[in-house]
């Protein structure tokens, strides 16, 4: 199995792990958490777990990274963790969950354009088709074709697209961070650390809940920080370090939406419509197109 295909699999598994985010968010909400405190605990426990993984696997010396990599990690933390979490929460509040998810998954378009400008990646016809199929699939999966509850105010759209843009920059800035052959575990640790610090300073999330040290809430936060955060980001940056075309990353990771939909059906008895099934098939098709292109290009 070549390195490019291994990277594809790692990003795919990352997306599957991210698909469980909604489950943890709902569990923490049931324990009285707020969106900002949920994000804070996720990043806090995720940072601690990744720091431990870095020390065990790559030794403490792995935290010694170059200035360019450190700056990239600061940007990752502030833009792709801190600002992203704030914008996405605002988007869901202003636009509703379905439309917020659709606007978030404009990310592959931003990543492709940035990759073309910064890394001189080619955007051929097959890639554009795969991107359009992916965006359509995400829209159908998230909404089931029903936009009747959407409140599409200009500011709401701007905030939602901003969330998509900051999410897209994870792959772009992450690739820059990995160019100096830094430890993926160290980069992931710094990414979450600076995001956690940003949210702590800007939002003071512990002030938004009545009982911040609820045992069950902290346990959920710990699992949230371990499974779809520490483990997911370790795989993500490891896969990103060997992925030749950054524009593929958000499309592959969009399997997250499929997994989230399946979890919603089985864990929360959410409805499944023909349009949602069509959306899932389109997302899978777009991932297949990028997978096929990876093999052919090599």
Q: What is the pTM of this model?
A: 0.91
Number of Cβ atoms within 10 Å of the Cβ of 281: 15
2 confidence band (pLDDT: 50, 70, 90): confident
pLDDT digits (tens, 9 = 90+) for 48-96: 999 999 999 999 999 999 999 999 999 999 999 999 988 988 887 787 7
pLDDT confidence of 297, banded at 50, 70, 90?
very low
When the pLDDT of each residue in the chain is averaged and rounded to a whole number, the result is 90
- pLDDT single digits (tens) 117-154: 999 988 888 889 999 999 999 989 988 877 665 556 78
pLDDT at 224 over 80: yes
| pLDDT tens by residue, 24-38 | 988 999 999 999 999
Q: Is the pLDDT of residue 278 over 50?
A: yes
């Amino acid at each position: 199995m070549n390195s490019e295909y291994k990277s594809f699999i790692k990003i795919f598994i990352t997306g599957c792990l991210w698909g469980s985010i909604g489950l943890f968010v709902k569990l923490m909400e049931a324990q009285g958490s707020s969106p900002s405190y949920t994000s804070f605990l996720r990043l806090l426990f995720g940072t601690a777990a990744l720091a431990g993984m870095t020390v065990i696997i790559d030794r403490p010396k792995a935290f010694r990274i170059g200035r360019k990599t450190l700056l990239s990690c600061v940007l990752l933390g502030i833009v792709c963790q801190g600002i992203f979490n704030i914008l996405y929460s605002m988007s869901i509040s202003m636009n509703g969950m379905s439309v917020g998810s659709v606007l978030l998954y404009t990310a592959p378009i931003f990543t492709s354009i940035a990759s073309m400008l910064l890394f001189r990646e080619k955007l051929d016809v097959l890639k554009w088709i795969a991107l359009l199929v992916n965006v359509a699939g995400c829209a159908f999966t998230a909404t089931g074709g029903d936009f009747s509850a959407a409140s599409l105010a200009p500011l709401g759209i701007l905030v939602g697209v901003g969330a998509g843009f900051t999410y897209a920059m994870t792959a772009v800035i992450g690739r820059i961070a990995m160019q100096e052959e830094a430890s993926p575990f160290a980069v992931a640790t710094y990414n979450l650390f600076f995001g956690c610090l940003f949210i702590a300073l800007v939002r003071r999330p512990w002030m938004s809940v009545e009982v911040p040290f609820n045992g069950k809430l902290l346990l959920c936060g710990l699992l949230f920080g371990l499974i779809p955060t520490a483990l997911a980001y370790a795989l993500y940056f490891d896969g990103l370090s060997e992925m030749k075309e950054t524009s593929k990353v958000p499309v592959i990771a969009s399997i997250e939406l499929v997994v989230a939909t399946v979890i919603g059906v089985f864990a929360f008895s959410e409805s499944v419509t023909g349009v949602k099934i069509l959306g899932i098939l389109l997302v899978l098709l777009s991932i297949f197109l990028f997978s096929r292109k990876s093999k052919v290009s090599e």
